[in-house]
Amino acid sequence: MRSSATFAALLSALTACIATPPSPPMPLPPAAEPPPPVEVPENEADRAKFCADWCASTSKPCLEQAQKDVEKTDGAPPSEEEMKNLELFCGVTRARCKRRCGDEGAGFLAANSGLPAPAACGGAKMKVRFYDVGQALAALVELPDGRRILVDTGEQPTRAGCGKPCKDWSAHLLAALAKDVPDKKLDVVWTTHQHSDHAGNADTVLKTFEVATYVDNGTRLDEKDGGKPGPIARARKAAADRGTKIVVVDPEHVASPLADVGDVKVRPVVPSKWPTNCDKDPNDCSIALRIDYCKSSVLFTGDAEAKEEALFATDAVTLLQAGHHGSDTSSSEAFAARVRPGWVVISSGKKDEGTNRDYCHPRRSTVERLEGFTASQAKRPLEVFDGICKKPKPGDWVSIDVSDRVFATARDGDILLTTTGDGQFVRE
Ligand SMILES: [Zn+2]
């Protein structure tokens, strides 16, 4: 508990400061003093009483007493500016209360202190859009403060052997982005890995939109595609041509490309070293991205497979992009049990469309494993593959009932999920 002597000293420092003209801009005396050590009882009943008493003792009397002290100096009530300073001064005690007593203390203060209630975490919407880009991935996140991150850019329109579906998927993505990003500004374009179903339109996006930062994993930069520069080489050139900042995220470079603002944290999720098979399989050099917003979170893992998933240092997540389009080589039992997703999105092609004829995503076992974590009794049918993709037989594609918190672009088209930071996502 703060001693009354310390409290009086702070008030007298504040009063002296306010009473000495001219002194703009006014410093805030309490900022220099560290908060007093306070032990909050763990027992719930004791804790409630403690928080109520302590928050009251450090708040309501603060503002009242400070007002009285200011009035005493010249007999006039505090001016608007003086009141602002007093509120700031007392706000420090309020912050201490909230820090130690959490929402309980904050709620008490809002009801008793006469100060405006501190902002609760969350409230504004975070929007996560998964585009129906066929056998590929492209997701646009709009943070509550309006900043935008595009995670992967779908399949290139001219992928060999794909034909019209790939053209349509690419055209759909670019049209959807034009609509959803009307000012043409993207804060980050994040490329999980080199494959053309993830980096396929990165160059076009970088040429069409004003992108502040382009991120990739820094590997296979010179890889060719049919004798021409591959998707990453084209993306790098487009970024360089426009002066877009190029950032590599890999085991040695894990800084976030976006600053923490308010209640939002954007974090790369990368192993401390690449898995051994990363050289042969670019899927396992995927750079994952996690966004935390109060009680809600979303994790994109690109095409990371079980070996890399095992090296990701991350835990429970609200919304999971099912790795590698719902393949049975990803979303291992151990990883699924660790991240325990409340909502899942599978981005893959339809069963008989374009490149998904060769991949057969998503797999029944993977979908059943993930849907078990989503806490919903309501079910919807979903087409899944239950066989050997290299030797498909009639009847391998089956419709099963899965949780209505599992979404799939092949069934649902474009998917917009929003959260206010309360640990829930809703489809709009
Ligand atoms: Zn992929």
Are residues 99 and 118 in contact, defined by beta-carbon separation less than 8 angstroms? no
Do both 44 and 94 map to the same domain? Answer: yes
**Of residues 185, 215, 197, the one with CA closest to residue 153:** 197
CA of 379 to the centre of ligand 1 (A): 27
CA of 295 to the centre of ligand 1 (A): 29
CA of 327 to the centre of ligand 1 (A): 10
Count CB atoms within 10 A of the CB of residue 83. 15
Q: How far is the C-alpha of 325 from the C-alpha of 308, rounded, in Å?
A: 15
Determine the pLDDT at residue 33: 44
Q: How far is the C-alpha of 38 from the C-alpha of 1, rounded, in Å?
A: 6
CA of 135 to the centre of ligand 1 (A): 7
Do both 103 and 135 map to the same domain? Answer: no
Is 121 a member of any domain?
no
Query: What is the greatest pairwise CA distance in the chain?
Result: 92
pLDDT averaged over every residue in the chain: 84
**Of residues 362, 332, 330, the one with CA closest to residue 347:** 362
Determine the pLDDT at residue 64: 72
CA of 193 to the centre of ligand 1 (A): 9
Do both 32 and 150 map to the same domain? Answer: no
Last-in-domain residue among 46, 77, 112: 112
Q: What are phi and psi of 287, to 5 degrees?
A: -100, 120
**Residue 188 has what DSSP assignment?**
E
Do both 138 and 275 map to the same domain? Answer: yes
Is 119 a member of any domain?
no
Per-residue pLDDT band for 1 (boundaries 50, 70, 90) equals very low
| E strand map for 191-293 | 210-216, 224-225, 228-229, 245-248, 264-269, 288-293
Q: Is 161 left (phi over 0), alpha (psi -120 to 50) or beta?
A: left
Residue-wise pLDDT tens digits, 259-295: 998 899 999 999 999 998 888 899 999 999 999 999 9
CA of 129 to the centre of ligand 1 (A): 17
CA of 134 to the centre of ligand 1 (A): 10
Q: Which of 21-35, 270-284, 398-412 has the lowest mean pLDDT?
A: 21-35
Do both 296 and 392 map to the same domain? Answer: yes
Q: How far is the C-alpha of 287 from the C-alpha of 31, rounded, in Å?
A: 40
Per-residue pLDDT band for 75 (boundaries 50, 70, 90) equals confident
CA of 353 to the centre of ligand 1 (A): 15
Query: Has residue 36 got a pLDDT over 80?
Result: no
Q: How far is the C-alpha of 152 from the C-alpha of 148, rounded, in Å?
A: 13
Do both 106 and 136 map to the same domain? Answer: no
CA of 396 to the centre of ligand 1 (A): 22
CA of 169 to the centre of ligand 1 (A): 14
Strand partners, 263: none
Determine the pLDDT at residue 411: 97
Query: Has residue 104 got a pLDDT over 60?
Result: no
Per-residue pLDDT band for 166 (boundaries 50, 70, 90) equals very high
Q: How far is the C-alpha of 343 from the C-alpha of 331, rounded, in Å?
A: 14
Do both 262 and 340 map to the same domain? Answer: yes
Is 118 a member of any domain?
no
Sheet holding 406-408, edge to edge: 264-269, 288-293, 296-300, 319-321, 343-346, 406-408
Alpha carbon dihedral 83, 261, 210, 159, in 10-degree steps, equals: -160
Residue type, 330: S
The residue with greater pLDDT, 102 or 8, is 102
CA of 15 to the centre of ligand 1 (A): 64
CA of 303 to the centre of ligand 1 (A): 5
CA of 416 to the centre of ligand 1 (A): 20
Is 377 a member of any domain?
yes
Are residues 300 and 289 in contact, defined by beta-carbon separation less than 8 angstroms? yes
Are residues 38 and 100 in contact, defined by beta-carbon separation less than 8 angstroms? yes
Tell me the three state secondary structure of residue 106: helix
Q: Which residues contact 147 (CB under 8 A, 6 or more apart)?
A: 187, 258, 261
CA of 197 to the centre of ligand 1 (A): 5
CA of 177 to the centre of ligand 1 (A): 20
Per-residue pLDDT band for 160 (boundaries 50, 70, 90) equals confident
CA of 347 to the centre of ligand 1 (A): 9
Do both 95 and 161 map to the same domain? Answer: no
Do both 106 and 133 map to the same domain? Answer: no
Which residue pairs from 154-159 have beta carbons closer than 8 angstroms and sit at least 24 positions apart in sequence? Answer: 154/197, 154/198, 154/200, 154/201, 155/196, 155/197, 155/200, 155/201, 155/354, 155/355, 156/196, 156/200, 156/201, 156/231, 157/200, 157/201, 159/196, 159/197, 159/200, 159/355
Do both 62 and 137 map to the same domain? Answer: no
Is 40 a member of any domain?
yes
The residue with greater pLDDT, 14 or 167, is 167
CA of 387 to the centre of ligand 1 (A): 20
Query: Has residue 116 got a pLDDT over 60?
Result: no
Query: Has residue 39 got a pLDDT over 80?
Result: no
Query: Has residue 310 got a pLDDT over 80?
Result: yes
CA of 285 to the centre of ligand 1 (A): 12
Pairing of strands 210-216, 406-408: unpaired
Count CB atoms within 10 A of the CB of residue 296. 25
Determine the pLDDT at residue 405: 97
CA of 164 to the centre of ligand 1 (A): 18
Which DSSP helix (H) or strand (E) runs through 53? helix 44-57
pLDDT exceeding 70 applies to what percent of the chain?
76
How many structural domains compose the chain?
2
CA of 282 to the centre of ligand 1 (A): 10
Do both 225 and 78 map to the same domain? Answer: no
Determine the pLDDT at residue 47: 67
Question: In CATH, what number is assigned to the domain containing residue 248?
Answer: 3.60.15.10
Determine the pLDDT at residue 227: 85
Residue-wise pLDDT tens digits, 356-368: 888 999 999 999 9
The residue with greater pLDDT, 48 or 32, is 48
Last-in-domain residue among 80, 112, 144: 112
CA of 90 to the centre of ligand 1 (A): 54
Determine the pLDDT at residue 137: 98
Last-in-domain residue among 69, 90, 112: 112
Tell me the three state secondary structure of residue 244: coil
The whole domain housing 291 covers 126-427
Is 117 a member of any domain?
no
CA of 302 to the centre of ligand 1 (A): 7
Task: Give CA angle at 97 (94, 103), nearest 5°.
Answer: 100
Do both 31 and 85 map to the same domain? Answer: yes
Residue-wise pLDDT tens digits, 244-255: 999 999 999 999
CA of 111 to the centre of ligand 1 (A): 52
Determine the pLDDT at residue 102: 61
Per-residue pLDDT band for 191 (boundaries 50, 70, 90) equals very high
Per-residue pLDDT band for 90 (boundaries 50, 70, 90) equals low
Determine the pLDDT at residue 89: 63
Is 120 a member of any domain?
no
Is 238 a member of any domain?
yes
CA of 271 to the centre of ligand 1 (A): 19
Query: Has residue 49 got a pLDDT over 80?
Result: no
Residue-wise pLDDT tens digits, 341-395: 999 999 999 998 888 888 999 999 999 999 999 988 899 999 999 999 999 898 9
Alpha carbon dihedral 105, 110, 112, 115, in 10-degree steps, equals: 120
Alpha carbon dihedral 321, 326, 330, 331, in 10-degree steps, equals: 60
Q: How far is the C-alpha of 280 from the C-alpha of 173, rounded, in Å?
A: 29
